[in-house]
Structure 1
């Protein structure tokens, strides 16, 4: 017999939120994301080993990597439309399988056919690109609203861990395995990404009256325009990636060699950036500032300390510390950014808006790299770094002034 509850003297506390690490469906999705991240970061390293072994020339390496980038950019928009039109799980399955098929094709072309390798790299990039918006939308389907912040923090930690462990693990395996075997291993990782995630919710059923690709993609753009905070944050992200990140990518190796006389500053700075990002993801999973949008944009602006440290005659330790701060800041932005997008954007348009995010931020990064190098040659590295550092600070600050940017929402959300 049930015992009657006492008169309502005090409201009983709500049960604690179940840890995201105890959610089997999320853990399967996390494992798939980690596998895809390892495969993504390992491929350029393995192809670099092929250059060292003289199975691939430097020009061939550039062509193959460019084809992968082109495949990514073309597929990320298509993947967003498909993931909103059909099952997100099915899009992850088929796009990851495409990347898995590309791996043995790369192995078959290595040392024999640059044309085959270029086509296979484009296929690998297309699989990777189509996966990205589908993974974002599948996370929102798999995890309930109040736990999405933890889920996104865990996802970004998987990406950062892959950045740190992927090349190191590949270098270790390269001591025992042939380059072709390593390429087949990358294909096996993509098979894990394809087959491990649990089944998500079914997407809308395609009908004869369904809008065409262009119309559906434009629908995603219109949805993005409904959220001023999203457009402002995307502009700030582009400024940091296309200018700040591109400038430091060009300048850091030069300054490590010329000012400090050693490559260890380059290695230490990049390691500090990744470790800082891991720490930032841990912090942001537990802390919820009142003005989460402003806090996120402040974190993004912290990347400006990286180019600032490179333009000043400071000890090497200051450069390493600046990169650690930049890494922390980038995840203080990423996790609330992904969480807000999953919360605020209409669920049936989430993949398309996410694809727009990846398309703009990743798509303009090569443009920034292409412009920074000649700018450094013409104006000098110090002037270019100074301008880029200033923009890293100023553009996020301007984005914070946009209506709805304070909370990354139309109104202050009670919970993430």
Structure 2
């Protein structure tokens, strides 16, 4: 954080994260005010997810092709344009409000999706290799603080000043993301590959190069498979079943609020720990941390005192950062620099792209097989997937 260039990058990344998290809550308040219906909200959030998934791979290709900082600039401007369209749709509610909000949410999702791999690939251009892990820990701290502050700040601002003011604040965050990060010296190959030379054929060719680069690193494929399984199974339980269990078993929102807070605080503590800790077998420790998420569905299965699942969420949050920070550091260190953004985009596309499928399947599966069976299977997946990845030899050190 003493590096001014990295501090600027950190501020920009934090601003984009705040804008991302705040939007869902502001749109939720629009439902409470009657500006949008619950169906409208669902369609808008779905449109944002579609925009994210469409843009994440395109953003990776463009970042490697024309420069990561350029992509951060234009993706952030796209996020701001999307928020502006939503603001108009909310302020002038009419028969076209849903269309405006959905279109704006999709464009904002495009900005979010394109930003992720570009920010990830900018870190090694600004930070020396020996400081990568500390830098990634600082970026993770940013994410966790954003998780705590973003929703509360957006909700408070919307309640005090109105939805339009809150949306304008989100727009300002996207402008910070566009302007504040420093412009590193990117290599000549990136600078020379102009966007004007990108066609559908060259896009898929560039994307295939990223896939080939990922396949050169067995630890990356194994770790990504484990992460995808944990997100699709474990995160789906968190998103779908925890609110139901909190209501039916604990008689209110105590588990719902406690789990979210506990997970974020655990992750914040984990990021602080791993900023300095350099274990010998970093990959095994990272995958072990990822496997701690199995405690979440298993703690819900035993139906113990509410403190037990909340503690499980704290440990799961700590474990996810024991995985995330070494994982991002290894990716930045091992992947070819001119393909880093594309490989990072594959990471985000697979790990988060399959999450909606898990969310869609958990509730029907619980209705057919029962909550206990779904929780047990989810816990087994979260435990066995990281263990299976440990079998790959290069996963021990996250080095090719």
Match of 2:65 in 1: 85
Is residue 174 of structure 2 the alignment partner of residue 194 of structure 1?
A: no
Match of 1:299 in 2: 289
Match of 1:404 among 391, 394, 399: 394
More displaced 10-residue stretch of structure 1: 138-147 or 167-176? 167-176
Whether the 8 Å contact between 1:88 and 1:200 is mirrored in structure 2 is no
The 3-state SS of whatever aligns with 2:395 is coil
The TM-score with structure 1 as length reference comes to: 0.92
Match of 1:65 in 2: 45
Match of 2:358 in 1: 368
Q: Which has the larger radius of gyration?
A: 1
CA distance in 1, matches of 2:11, 2:21: 15
The 3-state SS of whatever aligns with 2:275 is helix
Q: How far does residue 206 in structure 1 lie from its aligned partner after superposition?
A: 2.2
Match of 2:330 in 1: 340
The 3-state SS of whatever aligns with 2:278 is coil
Aligned residues: 390
Q: How far does residue 266 in structure 1 lie from its aligned partner after superposition?
A: 1.1
Whether the 8 Å contact between 1:87 and 1:201 is mirrored in structure 2 is no
Is residue 310 of structure 2 the alignment partner of residue 310 of structure 1?
A: no
Match of 1:97 in 2: 77
Match of 1:383 in 2: 373
Q: How far does residue 51 in structure 1 lie from its aligned partner after superposition?
A: 0.3
Match of 2:19 in 1: 39
Structure 1 gaps of 5+ residues are 1-20, 411-416
CA distance in 2, matches of 1:299, 1:91: 32
CA distance in 1, matches of 2:23, 2:156: 14
Is residue 152 of structure 2 the alignment partner of residue 168 of structure 1?
A: yes
CA distance in 2, matches of 1:209, 1:182: 39
Whether the 8 Å contact between 2:290 and 2:320 is mirrored in structure 1 is yes
Match of 1:140 in 2: 124
CA distance in 2, matches of 1:251, 1:51: 22
Q: How far does residue 265 in structure 1 lie from its aligned partner after superposition?
A: 1.6
CA distance in 1, matches of 2:21, 2:27: 11
Match of 2:167 in 1: 183
Whether the 8 Å contact between 1:84 and 1:204 is mirrored in structure 2 is no
In terms of fraction of residues, the more helix-rich structure is 2
Q: How far does residue 178 in structure 1 lie from its aligned partner after superposition?
A: 1.1
CA RMSD of aligned residues (A): 1.1
162 and 209 in structure 1: CA distance in 2 versus 1, 3 angstrom threshold: closer
CA distance in 2, matches of 1:51, 1:67: 17
Cα deviation code 1:331-366 (max 9, x no counterpart): 000000000000000000000000000000110000
Is residue 332 of structure 2 the alignment partner of residue 352 of structure 1?
A: no
CA distance in 1, matches of 2:220, 2:18: 29
Match of 2:137 in 1: 153
CA distance in 1, matches of 2:7, 2:138: 10
More displaced 10-residue stretch of structure 1: 289-298 or 109-118? 109-118
Whether the 8 Å contact between 1:88 and 1:201 is mirrored in structure 2 is no
Whether the 8 Å contact between 1:99 and 1:190 is mirrored in structure 2 is yes
CA distance in 2, matches of 1:394, 1:236: 9
CA distance in 2, matches of 1:54, 1:257: 25
CA distance in 1, matches of 2:332, 2:389: 20
Match of 1:232 among 222, 229, 247: 222
Q: How far does residue 209 in structure 1 lie from its aligned partner after superposition?
A: 7.7
Match of 1:256 in 2: 246
The 3-state SS of whatever aligns with 2:332 is helix
CA distance in 2, matches of 1:256, 1:200: 48
Cα deviation code 1:137-166 (max 9, x no counterpart): 111111110001000000011011111111
Cα deviation code 1:126-146 (max 9, x no counterpart): 011000000001111111100
CA distance in 2, matches of 1:345, 1:204: 19
382 and 181 in structure 1: CA distance in 2 versus 1, 3 angstrom threshold: same
Match of 1:241 in 2: 231
Match of 1:129 among 93, 113, 116: 113
CA distance in 1, matches of 2:332, 2:103: 34
Whether the 8 Å contact between 2:157 and 2:165 is mirrored in structure 1 is no
Match of 1:48 in 2: 28
Cα deviation code 1:52-110 (max 9, x no counterpart): 00000111101111000000000000000000001111110010011011111101112
Structure 2 gaps of 5+ residues are none
CA distance in 1, matches of 2:159, 2:24: 17
Q: How far does residue 323 in structure 1 lie from its aligned partner after superposition?
A: 0.4
105 and 322 in structure 1: CA distance in 2 versus 1, 3 angstrom threshold: same
